[in-house]
Amino acid sequence: MKYITFPVEDEKVELLQTVGGVVFDNKKLQVYVLANDGRYYLQDPIMYDGIKWTCGCGFGDSNTQSGATFYVLVVESEERPHSPIDTMKYPVLDYVNVERATPAG
């Protein structure tokens, strides 16, 4: 099942971007971004609208190079642990690989 509907695989993303999708079976979801340092960063709390959800995500910082890759992961969890974490301990329901876009300016 596809829990993430945007962005799509290999899409270019900005420093801050909204990620979204759908939820099945009333699962409790959290969104993490796996960064280049190999750590998982918990993102903003998910906002639900029926079966649709959105979440604000960050992809690196102002020094992150264009083309840097990240994974967006949707996991099943109600917990919001201190971030970042080194090992993903929650069931991963879906993920997409994205790239940082060329910074403006």
Domains observed in the chain = 4-100 (2.60.40)
pLDDT tens figures, 40-75: 999 999 999 999 999 999 999 988 999 999 999 999
pLDDT of residue 42: 97
pLDDT of 90 > 70? The answer is yes
pLDDT in tens, 22-45: 998 888 999 999 999 999 999 999
Q: Do residues 39 and 84 lie in contact, with contact meaning Cβ atoms separated by under 8 Å?
A: yes
Q: Specify the residue for token string 């959800």.
A: 53
Query: If pLDDT is split at 50, 70 and 90, which confidence band does 97 have?
Result: very high
17 closest CA partner among 58, 52, 48, 45: 58
Taking the C-alpha atoms of residue 101 and residue 99, their distance in angstroms, rounded to an integer, is 6
Q: What's residue 102's pLDDT?
A: 80
Question: For 21-66, where are the alpha helices, taking DSSP H only?
Answer: none
Show Cβ contacts of residue 66 under 8 Å, excluding neighbours closer than 6 positions.
Answer: 99, 100, 101, 102, 103
- pLDDT at residue 62 in the model: 86
Question: 31 vs 27, 63, 71, CA distance in Å?
Answer: 13, 23, 10
Residue 105 confidence (pLDDT) above 60: no
pTM: 0.93
Q: How far apart are the first and last CA of the chain?
A: 38
